[in-house]
Structure 1
Amino acid sequence: MPPDPAPSSPSRTLRAASFGAVGDGVADDGPAIARMLEAASGQSGVTLAFDAGRIYGVRSARTRYVFDLQDQEGITLDGGGSVFELASHLRFLRLRGCRRITVRRLKVDFRPLPFADGVVVGVDQASGSLTVRVAPDDARRLIGGPTHEDGEQAFFGILWYDGPYSTIGRHYWLARTEPTDRPDTVRAIATEEFTEFSDIRAAASPGSAEGPAWRISLPAPGIAHRYGPGACFSIRDNDTASFTDVELWSAPWMGFEVARNTGRLTFRRVHVRQKPGSGRLMSTCRDGFHVKGNRAELVWDGCILSGMTDDAFNISTHGSVITRMLAPNRVEVRQKFPLLFIPWRVGSLFVAADERARKLLGRARVTHVETGPLPPPIQGEPAAPVSALTLDRPITGLKPDALAWDASSANPRTTLRNCRIEMSCRLQSPVTLDRCEVTALLWFYCDPLEGPFPGPVTITKSALRRGRGNPVHAVIFSGASDKAESGDPPRAIHDVTFRDNTVYGGFVMEGVEKANVEGNRFLEADAPFIVMGNHRVRLSGNWGPGGRSLP
């Protein structure tokens, strides 16, 4: 793999202290950062440098992003290893239309936190509630429920309990949190949607032989689960960026959104996790990395992901539906999810599949694109238009309602290397995992909104354990369908290499085209090993517990 493109030598260094930044964790350093950004506006080759060992408290910003860069080139943001502590309505970094951006040596946290952790001390299934012991200061700020403001989405906490290999989480759908007659406890009342009370273990009385109590992270009303301006790090429509030695310890919504970028993006030792040494259970209120519709080469190396309430990685693009056949080689398509439009381009690789049967119909190159008028915005965001595409060849079986996507912008060169992942991953586009340690479900599948189908997929020399996402299985390839002709090749999940891995938990591969499963060790006794309904699958040198050869 080629090295990252070397940025040009910085022509100027701007130091935060020169603009009045204090970094004592008390003062609002937002105005100083705003002055610093104003001085860098319109310039290239600028380093924004912060002192080491500081806590930069940021309570205000020019926009709701502390660092909001657009159409800039060659900017380096060097945090000096310091912490940036943000007010809850802010987010840290937005990059739009930038080139050759470097972000390094910084840590991001929020004050107040979007959640508070506690211990379950009482379970009342009849009333659908839990009594939770928390710090008295936390008890006061947890009172309330959903506000339905600032893009707030589903409102829930996370129950945590000990699994065989790691702490496991379960969503706790929350109607409201009420005070009790004690300053250090609250009553968390579930919505009707949550019914799984029977196995929740409350704190035992002294001397009890019961196991450890379940813990819970409760959302702070008015902070948690708010989309607000977007992810804490929003990286859209850029050409080449690198992130090194960056930590994100909490966030009211997603950690990183990585969408529609080109060139090469690298994330080295970028950790989305609980603050080390804090004893926290949670990190972000949604995905760690939400990756969508990139043409760029994407590399994560040596990253740690833990504690988010949703997926560690959600890697996909947006699928489109064929709305009309204008000619045998000309189609009208509409993106299924109306936001974050993934534009078609001349030269794009058009791929079509039967969505229900999960059968690949064919591929063609786009030779002409006509983009229709923009529909009205949705909640202030641009909506996806209809596009008319001319293909270089007809595709047999292509008809209205078929699923289509641009494989050129479906994250076609994505690598996760030497990463430690402790939350589930939803992977719907090409990806390579090499020497990773995953204690959670790896799920390869297709969602018609967040397609397409993953392929090629390569997983090598990794340790994979069941955990968050599925109590039984460590790896699932979901390419099968209940449609009668669903077994017909070619399959939409295709070209899978699964080699030299160690697996603790179930392994399922269904409805896959062309897979090589060899040299793996499946070490958990009685764990399911299901390989069925596939085409051109090679199984070789795989071993079960006790050195037993697997078929």
Structure 2
Amino acid sequence: MIEVKSILPMMTAAALLVGCSSIHGDGRKALKLADFGAVGDGNTDDIAALVQALDALSEAGAGASLHFEPGKIYKLGVRDDSVYQIDLQELEDVTIDGHGSMLLVDPKQAYIRIRRCEGVTVKNLLLENDPLSYTQGKIIAANSEEGWFDIELMDGYCDMPSDEELGEVRPFWPWGAVLDPQERRIRPEMIDHVFTERFEKIGDRTVRMFAKPDYYKHIADFRKGDVYFQPLYWNPVERLKGLGMHVSYDAAANIIVSQSSDCEIENVTMYSGRSAMTSRVEFNTGRITFDRFQVRHRPGFDDRVVTNWRDGMHCKDNRIGPLIENCYFEGMLDDSINIASDTIMAAEVLSDRQFRFCNWRGLLTWHRDICAVREGDQFLAYFPPTGDVKGPYTVVEMNDEHPEIITLDQPIEGIVTGQVRAQVDKNSTQFYNLNAVSRGFIVRNNTFDKQRRDAMRTRGYDGRIEGNTVCNLAAEGIYLSNEMGNFYEGPFSQNVVIRNNSFSNMHREAIKLVSKTATEPLPLMKNIVIEGNTFISRVESPIHIRNVEDVTLRNNTFKNEAGDPLRNPVSVRHVVGLKEE
């Protein structure tokens, strides 16, 4: 009996796989989601059918594809085995084609994970949460002296969480933003966020928000009818731990592509996302492409002021930079694109050549999911107190049991230990893996529209930023800079071309280049070309350059919003080798 029970499910599954596929003339196997029981009516939970279809796709192997039905809305509840609805791991040359269908996803879940794959494509999907991972309400009263403001929650948006709910989820994020509902962005005179200490329900759908003292004065700028946006968390901490996930970062993206090569997200539109960044592209060994990826307001839902409240695309520690083209970004409350490498610090000096390293994730045993370092990689070392930059140092050995214990090829003196903690470790020696700086990244022909923060931040090497349209932002457009202090990212950009982009209706500078160092002048960012760009600016100097070496400005056009030429379009400080042609 035991043998019969173990064999029958295998036979049934095998028969199912055969019955739910067709073979193209070139031998590729095509699977249909409908054949696995998916209904796609927007009400029936199709998650079991999707998981079964994904298992079949994995079994079918290289060349296989999975097809959804055009026009369908697939409601997807919680998976028991993963926080990612489409979870693709260790696959080669497979495709998922949504054919324009929508995934209506529980906000406890992320949308897509591509991990340790090669040649995988996910395309033609619309992504939406139900319910949303935030709530919002119109401001009906405010008192800056006492530090509170009242909101009336808008129809169709969730109530604020109860004390019991707050006790189950990741700690409540005491953070929000006030936006102009017509502009769908923060007004120029307003602070771009507000931290709160607590909230109190004063009516059925009315809530009083109590700001932290530092924010009292900013409440005076709030207007009746402005919309306050409040993030919500849905995932119980115990659930994430039960899935073997580190609460602070494992569930940190709606779409994640990691440790992969030659994979693509194509023609995918995200209307909303759970409480995480839109996408994370990290530790990849080959080119990752986002083509016609869109983060935009859902048509017909005009009262929404935000698409996703966290970051856009975080591209970290990639050996080859991403290709991001023909994309559209709007409505986010943080930067659309961030291309960087994680700062590494020596938590412990074991000898003059051997160190126990850590990154922002803390004192953990390194593995492939949290660190990109490999034997043979080269490190750059930056010493903030003195301004020294040393290296490269080659990684000659990583401990088998604890890969974060690393031996370098040369001794290093004067190391200041640290653990990548905000403010605490701002004088600690910073290390960067020069083999994982997203070399050759390309960001082209994208549109960046109304949002709270920057269109793009980068610390990458050998990149091109070209043909983009940047407009209506509440912060900077293209910002090349490292970060140290409140958080840490780097290194210092080298060999980047910014050309043929257009900028208009910006609250701040359109292009900003800054080497953030503890001492100045110390121009660690080098060889930047800014050419053929068009600026229609409300600020007198839409280009700001500080602490940079070898900058070329060529054939740029500068006008104010009245159409007159700008008199001082470029602000410069501590710049070595500036060429204006």
Mapping 1:503-514, distance limit 5 Å: 503=535, 504=537, 505=539, 506-514=542-550
CA distance in 2: counterparts of 1:290 and 1:172, whole angstroms = 23
- CA RMSD across the alignment: 3.2
Residue aligning to 1:315? 339
Residue aligning to 2:318? 294
1:105 and 2:120 correspond = no
SS for the counterpart of 1:147 is: helix
Residue aligning to 2:498? 459
Following superposition, the deviation at residue 105 of structure 1 comes to 0.1
1:250 and 2:291 correspond = no
Contact map agreement 1:144 1:177 (CA 8 A) in 2: no
Amino acid at match of 1:429: G
C-alpha change, 1:38 and 1:177, in structure 2 (3 Å) is: same
SS for the counterpart of 1:523 is: strand
After superposition, the C-alpha distances for 1:271-293 in whole angstroms (9 at most, x for unaligned) are 12222332221122311111110
Mapping 1:161-310, distance limit 5 Å: 161=180, 167-168=186-187, 170-181=192-203, 183=204, 185-203=206-224, 213-220=225-232, 222=234, 229-251=251-273, 252-279=275-302, 280-310=304-334
SS for the counterpart of 1:194 is: helix
After superposition, the C-alpha distances for 1:245-266 in whole angstroms (9 at most, x for unaligned) are 0011112211101100112111
In structure 2, runs of 5+ residues without a counterpart are 1-24, 237-246, 363-368, 417-427, 561-565
Residue aligning to 1:351? 380
CA distance in 2: counterparts of 1:122 and 1:52, whole angstroms = 46
SS for the counterpart of 2:310 is: coil
C-alpha change, 1:112 and 1:214, in structure 2 (3 Å) is: same
Amino acid at match of 2:259: D
Residue aligning to 1:48? 66
SS for the counterpart of 1:283 is: coil
SS for the counterpart of 1:138 is: coil
From 371, 389, 405, the equivalent of 2:408 is: 389
Amino acid at match of 1:437: T
Residue aligning to 2:396? 368
Amino acid at match of 1:23: G
C-alpha change, 1:72 and 1:9, in structure 2 (3 Å) is: farther
Amino acid at match of 1:513: E
Amino acid at match of 1:311: D
**Aligned-residue identity in percent:** 22
Q: Which has the higher strand share?
A: 1
Residue aligning to 1:135? 154
Q: What TM-score do you get using the length of structure 2 for normalisation?
A: 0.78
Q: Which moved more, 1:133-142 or 1:100-109?
A: 133-142
SS for the counterpart of 1:456 is: strand
Amino acid at match of 1:479: S
Contact map agreement 1:461 1:502 (CA 8 A) in 2: yes
C-alpha change, 1:178 and 1:438, in structure 2 (3 Å) is: same
After superposition, the C-alpha distances for 1:396-452 in whole angstroms (9 at most, x for unaligned) are x98555432122211111111011123413322233210112234132222243221
1:59 and 2:86 correspond = no
Residue aligning to 1:377? none
1:407 and 2:434 correspond = yes
SS for the counterpart of 1:197 is: helix
Q: What TM-score do you get using the length of structure 1 for normalisation?
A: 0.82
CA distance in 2: counterparts of 1:519 and 1:163, whole angstroms = 36
Following superposition, the deviation at residue 184 of structure 1 comes to 5.0
Contact map agreement 1:68 1:93 (CA 8 A) in 2: yes
Aligned length: 501
SS for the counterpart of 1:239 is: coil
Contact map agreement 1:136 1:184 (CA 8 A) in 2: no
CA distance in 1: counterparts of 2:156 and 2:100, whole angstroms = 29
In structure 1, runs of 5+ residues without a counterpart are 1-7, 204-212, 375-383, 541-551
SS for the counterpart of 2:42 is: coil
Contact map agreement 2:384 2:518 (CA 8 A) in 1: no
C-alpha change, 1:264 and 1:227, in structure 2 (3 Å) is: closer
